[in-house]
Structure 1
Amino acid sequence: MGKYKVSKGIYNLLYQGLLSGLFILPAIGFAQVKNVWALGDGEKVFRFDLEHPCKNGNFIWDGKTIHLKGLYNETLACQVIIETDTNGADGIEIAIDPPVNAATGKVIGGNTLKYGTAGSIEIYTEHYLHVRNPTKPNWFYGSPASAPKKMTGWIPDALIPVDAVSGLGGFPVDIEPLQNQGFWVDISLPRDQKKISPGIYNGIVQILQNGKFVKEIPLEITLLPYYLPDENQTNIWMYTGNIYAYYPELSHQQVDKMIKFEGHRHRIDIEGGFVANQSPFSNEIMNNYLPYLDGSAYTPANGYHGSGEGIGEKIFPIGMYGATVMGNTKECVQKQADLWVDWFTKKTPDVTYFWYITDEPAENKFPWIKERAEWVKSNFGTGKSLPIFTTTSYQKELSGAIDIWAGFDGVDLTILPDIRKKGGDHWFYNGNRPRYGALILEGTAVDLRVNSWILYKYGINAHFIWEGAQWQHNMQGPKAHLHQNMYENPLTFINEHLEFCNGDGILFYPGRMPFYPNEDRALNRIFPSIRLKNIRRGQQDACIMWMAQQKVGKERVISIIQKVVPKALSEVSMKDTVQWSEHGDDYDKIRDELLKLL
């Protein structure tokens, strides 16, 4: 989705230039476009931040050329920032002259229009949200000391495909005076090592205004002779709720498939949809869902293209958020446990499955949890091995009842070994600075990247994100049952205790907006966000760490990543400042150091 888009005449000019091998364009001065520069995917450039520190140079930008480096099957990303003068600029588009290897003539990005296939290039317009009232400390950050440094202003997040409605992110784009407009570029590097050789590929990023070329930036991609694994080395799973009303022209199955595909391309397991997670055991439902667990759904034959082809989901919650799927009697719970365990043992024994018994339980819920856990564990059938999960940090009183914990305050590394000795596990949940990255809109871009680094460094098996498409307000808030205008209002979570929370629960954006027609992008698609892209970047980083580990051992890899993530989780007090770096360049430098180990 979000394929690059140019007019027919411009496309012909690009194509003829490629054929002739003489495609050289002069950089024509144009008063309205004051400046064009680039940076990587690990920063958020606010709309009016005209003196951003990366402007004159950064890890991928030397002031003249964009330099990217990656592996087969890796998706690279960069941002192109256009700065306007006092007149503003209308009719702006950007296009990519696909990178070519001078020795072989092979091209990255010129041979396909299918998302995620070998060498595809996608361009998005960055959409800005105006944050006036900062998110307050709660489960997002521990104290003012750990808050993001810049919490108000026009913050970029939603990424709008260029073939959306013009004026709403689709090309051409009008830019107001004296401001930045960011464009996001995704480049999916080839999967086929036989057809496209490693080496340096040179292309051009072109800026057009009203159909005329006004600026160009050289783009250099170094394709390294290694293949990024399709299988993730760290697990992130996310719930997405009912979004069917946004796509009235599509079936529920089509909507579920669409968001699952978008999550999988960003190396996340998406739960919800297909009623599988919120239904009592049904052989029919689970057999229909099986392709997502065994990976056959994520194949070109089923319309899927991108990283993770043929790789199934790793995590399956039974009874999402404590939905009543196991019944309310001992007999019913034990029967359901037997059915679930038997099915997973036979069909997908490598999937981590569990009963999501209840959500964020208060102390008065503990007796109920212990009673039902005893029903499971006293079962004489196979169901006695069904793990039990809840969203709270380790509670001694529930030891022996809960097998898998996930809490807001991260993981207590001192008790994790004992939990695992007893056959359990402890994950972390949502985001909470300074222990790990936050999900809120004001967080730095690397807030969502660093979490995979933390998973890898500390050997934590999963990160759970409560919601990725909370397009309808949370049920316990004063706006319950109302649909959100998330393109206009950054406030996305409200309850009686929390007045402001920006961006929580929204990592995907809708291509259709029937409830706010003025915001309808007229595309039956799911749109990504800068936060989602940084989750993907972190997941890919963790794969590179694993590859380097095969060469030099994990201890050596940890000594390298320690430079940017010295402390996290329970090593950090909630009153501390953030210990890990908040700058994308720092992570890019360490990634480059890891690539050299290969």
Structure 2
Amino acid sequence: MNTLASFKSILLIMALSLSPILSAQIVNVWAVGDGEKVFRYNTDHFAEKNNSIWDGEKVKLRGLYNEVLGFQVIVELDSLGAKSLEISMTPPVNTVSGDIVGGDGTIAYGPQGSIDLFSQHYLNVTKPTKPAWYYGSENSAPENMVGWIPDALIPSNALGKGGFPLTVPKTREITIRMQHRLEVIERQETQNQGFWIDLYLPRDRNFASGVYTSEITVWVNGKAASKLPVEIELINAYLPDENHSNVWMFTSKNSMVNYFRDLEYDEVMEMMKFEAHRHRVDLVGGFDVHSSVFSLDAMNQYKPYLDGSAFTAENGYQGPGQGVGEKLFTVGIYGNPVLGRTKDSVQSESNKWVTWFEENSPDTRYFWYMIDEPGEVQYPYIKQNAEWVKSNPGPGKRLPIFTTTAYKEELKDVIDIFNGYRGIQDYEQFKLLKERGGDHWFYNGNRPFYGSVILEAEAVDFRVNGWIKHLFGINTWFIWHGSHWQHNFQGPKGNLQQRVFNEPLTFINWGFNYGNGDGVVFYPGRMPYHKEEDRGLNKVLPSIRLKNIRRGQQDHELLWLAEQKIGKAKVSELIRKVVPKAMHEVDKDDPVAWSQRGDDYDKIRNEILNLLK
């Protein structure tokens, strides 16, 4: 180091040594909707002064009965962090009737609505996900792919483990060693700590519509440090409990049972299905009933999830989708041979499945997941098994066949439901498939065709898929995993248990394709393998990505309601304002055409809300 640099360093050390020791200070508090990710050290965010829910002074929200409004409060702190930071929100009160949303705030998801509070947990990404599976090229990469990215949402009752009150450490430090062992410490001046609020508006329409008011308080060391007024317009229209499009997510039985050791298997299944259902997701495929041969007892026990009786207040469920069953059921998962390997076995077993569904759950979209991601070498196997099904003299001939591949001309007469990771690339064939009772869904995420699933993706990557599904008439989005807490066996990390709260890399194979956050949309409330990550809660924890899946599903329902009023063509025109091109309309090397800012979707959402008033 030269003499001048050494002299400047010594001056800096002297300045730091003379600085008074101050208590933590809040630099700024602001709010933003669910459509942005505010990185920990991005303290000059473009939405800070004004956005779709924040005018610089007040939080302004609008929504329907039975809608969940997710939004964020961002607290910017000085370099000292905070030892005891939390927020609170008073139950909203109707300015005319005096009705109170959420009652005393202690009953989650009741008919009167509720308020749920979370702290945002950050993951440090230094090695960004590569293109290929997740995005087509650098042209379609997310805008910011490195830094401390918020995702896991820690409930307020995870006391001392990321819940309230929250300890925020000092800002990051850079240490430089000099020849004479002197140190210069540079500190990032400020940092963000994000909080997430879910405001569930009443499903009980006896609560008055109109304007409700509330207040958010930021607390430091038990003292009120900042207050934000909140105004909510409850519009006199009801968001359907039913989903008119599906998000199908797989989860692993092993990850669930191995993590929640204090619970019985049935309790774990119910807990996870409840959390998914509240986010308008069908959690299907990871349970014994999907990976085993047909069992009448097992299907009768599973039936409440299909007819909706599992999702009722009498069974302990409250929230969106009350009384509504799952729409999908997979016979077998990822190609395991639940129907056997001979013609006689395939035909006799398929008869059992079809008979049960036709007699017990005729509205469920059930199918045989014959094989996963097949190549041409597997085509003879597919054709042989399909022929066994379709030539079945019994009811089993009506069993639809599904696989995870985009449309293939050679398989058009044997596969009923295609599912490609780049979506529908032949729209004319898609329409022909639909006309003859088949279908084509899309799989995981791949920019610029539709939103990606990786941690670095924009928040709206998970929201836009609801709009894309509506625009193109796509029935289902399949996400390969939601609780990939154990590393995949196809890669160098084998079956190691992941440190999902500290390491962003969650998928890697021997070809060294890897994805940060891939397969982890839920986080475990218990962590038996890495005790320092245990949150002490026998529940699955949500993420910002899961919240945006819900927002996209709710948007789809708003679009469906608007279509009843103004017709499909006009709704498509609205969608095209934010999604000018997607799916087959773009090439893998194109930039993303759909808007990547939450405010743009909120503007169209507000137009729809005005239609529904």
TM-score, with length taken from structure 1: 0.94
Match of 1:183 among 186, 192, 195: 195
CA contact (8 A) 2:161 2:535 kept: no
Structure 2 residue aligned with 1:158:
152
State the Cα distance separating 1:90 from its structure 2 match.
Answer: 2.4
State whether residues 93 and 173 of structure 1, in contact with CA within 8 Å, keep that contact through their aligned partners in structure 2. Answer: no
1:316 and 1:79 map into 2 onto residues whose CA distance is 35
The answer to whether 1:36 aligns with 2:29 is: yes
The Cα shift of 1:112 comes to: 4.5
Retained in 2: the 8 A contact 1:247–1:524? yes
Counterpart of 1:332?
345
1:113 to 106, 125, 141: 106
**Aligned-residue offset at 1:173:** 3.1
- Are 1:238 and 2:238 an aligned pair? no
Query: Match of 1:201?
Result: 212
Q: Secondary structure at the match of 1:464?
A: strand
* 1:546, distance to aligned residue in structure 2 (A): 0.7
Listed one character per residue, the Cα deviations across residues 255-281 of structure 1 (whole Å, up to 9, x for unaligned) are 111111111000010013441111111
Distance 1:551 1:498 in 2: 50
Counterpart for residue 11 of structure 1: none
Q: Which moved more, 1:470-479 or 1:123-132?
A: 470-479
Unmatched segments (≥5 aa) in structure 1 = 1-29
Alpha-carbon distance in 1 for matches of 2:267, 2:226: 41
Q: Distance in 1 between matches of 2:95 and 2:445?
A: 45
Would the aligned equivalents of 1:84 and 1:176 in 2 still touch at CA under 8 Å? no
Partner of 1:542: 556
Runs ≥4 in structure 1, deviation > 3 angstroms?
none
In the TM superposition, what whole-angstrom CA distance separates every residue of 1:513-543 from its partner, at most 9, and x where no partner exists?
1100011111111100000000000100111
Partner of 1:255: 268
Matches within 5 A, 1:79-228: 79-117=72-110, 118-177=112-171, 178-194=190-206, 196-228=207-239
Q: 2:371 aligns with which of 325, 340, 358?
A: 358
* Counterpart for residue 431 of structure 1: 445
For the residues of structure 1 that align with 2:259 and 2:108, how far apart are their CA atoms? Answer: 22
Q: Is the 8 A contact 2:400 2:416 kept in 1?
A: yes
Q: Which digits, 9 at most, give the CA deviation of each residue in 1:404-453, with x for residues without a partner?
A: 00001101212111222332111100100000000000000000000011
Alignment partner for residue 41 of structure 2, among 36, 48, 52? 48
Whether contact under 8 Å (2:151, 2:543) holds in the other structure is: yes
Q: State the partner residue of 1:381.
A: 394
Q: CA deviation at 1:498?
A: 2.5
Question: Could you tell me how far apart the structure 2 residues matched to 1:503 and 1:67 are?
Answer: 32
Query: Distance between the aligned counterparts of 2:287 and 2:141, measured in 1?
Result: 38
Tell me, what secondary structure is at the counterpart of 1:579?
coil
The number of aligned residues is: 568
Shift of the alpha carbon at 1:101? 1.3
* Cα drift, residue 175 of structure 1: 4.7
Query: Partners in 2 of 1:167 and 1:284 — Cα distance?
Result: 41
Partner of 2:595: 581
Distance 2:437 2:240 in 1: 28
Report the Cα offset of residue 383 of structure 1: 0.6
1:284 corresponding residue in structure 2: 297
Aligned 8 A contact 1:35 1:83 in 2? yes
CA drift of 1:499 comes to 4.5
Q: Any gaps of 5 or more consecutive residues in structure 2? A: 1-22, 172-189
Task: Give secondary structure in 1 for the equivalent of 2:262.
Answer: coil
CA distance in 2 between counterparts of 1:91 and 1:222 reads 32
CA positional deviation for 1:346: 0.6
Question: How far off is 1:475 after superposition?
Answer: 1.7
Q: Is the 8 A contact 2:109 2:318 kept in 1?
A: yes
Q: Secondary structure at the match of 1:493?
A: strand
Amino acid at match of 1:84: L
Whose Rg is larger?
Answer: 2
Q: Give the AA of the match of 1:226.
A: A
1:417 and 1:31 map into 2 onto residues whose CA distance is: 60
Please say if residues 85 and 164 of structure 2, whose CA atoms lie closer than 8 Å, have aligned partners that are also in contact.
no
SS of the aligned residue for 1:191 comes to: coil
Alpha-carbon deviation of 1:396? 1.2
- 2:51 matched residue in structure 1: 58
SS in 1 for 2:231: strand
Moved more, 484-493 or 238-247: 238-247
Q: 1:478 maps to what in 2? A: 492
Residue 239 of structure 1 and its aligned partner are, at CA, apart by 0.3
8 Å Cα contact 2:79-2:191 kept in structure 1:
no
1:130 is matched by which residue type in structure 2? N
User: Which residue of 297, 300, 303 maps to 2:316?
Assistant: 303
Partner of 2:583: 569
Partner Cα distance (1:436, 1:514) in 2: 36
CA contact (8 A) 2:579 2:594 kept: yes
User: Is 1:408 aligned to 2:410, yes or no?
Assistant: no
The one-letter amino acid of 1:180's match is N
Displacement after TM superposition at 1:477 (Å): 1.4
8 Å CA contact 1:71, 1:228 repeated in 2: yes
Q: Distance in 2 between matches of 1:72 and 1:504?
A: 33
CA contact (8 A) 2:86 2:164 kept: no
C-alpha separation between the residues in 2 aligned to 1:422 and 1:217? 55
- Other-structure match for 2:569: 555
Using the TM superposition, name which of 412-421 and 117-126 deviates more: 412-421
- The answer to whether the 8 Å contact 1:430/1:466 transfers is yes
C-alpha displacement of 1:480: 1.9
Contact 2:91 2:105 in 1 (8 A): no
* SS at 2:310 equivalent: coil
- Corresponding residue for residue 69 of structure 2: 76
Is this contact kept in 2: 1:410–1:570, CA < 8 A? yes
Report sequence identity in percent: 54
Deviation at 1:119, TM superposition (A): 1.9
Quote the Cα distance in structure 1 between the aligned partners of 2:194 and 2:308. Answer: 35
Aligned-residue CA RMSD in angstroms?
1.1
Alignment partners' CA distance in 2, 1:225 and 1:525: 34
What SS does structure 2 have at the residue aligned with 1:415? helix
- Please give the secondary structure, in 2, of the residue aligned with 1:95: strand
Distance 1:500 1:292 in 2: 34
Residue 491 of structure 1 deviates from its aligned partner by 0.1
Whichever residue aligns with residue 121 of structure 1, its letter is I
Letter in 1 for 2:554: Q
Q: How much does 1:387 deviate? A: 0.5
CA distance in 2, matches of 1:271, 1:232: 15
2:60 pairs, out of 67, 71, 77, with 67
Tell me, in whole angstroms, the C-alpha distance in 1 between the residues paired with 2:429 and 2:36.
Answer: 35
Q: 1:230 to 1:220 in 2, by over 3 A?
A: same
* SS of residue matched to 2:348: helix
Between the aligned partners of 2:83 and 2:393, the Cα distance in structure 1 is 71
CA distance in 2, matches of 1:566, 1:384: 41
Shift, 1:328, TM fit: 0.5
Q: Which amino acid aligns with 1:357?
A: M
Q: Which moved more, 1:108-117 or 1:313-322?
A: 108-117
Distance 1:295 1:98 in 2: 30
Listed one character per residue, the Cα deviations across residues 83-103 of structure 1 (whole Å, up to 9, x for unaligned) are 012332221110112211122
TM-score by length of 2: 0.91
Residue type of the alignment partner of 2:241: D
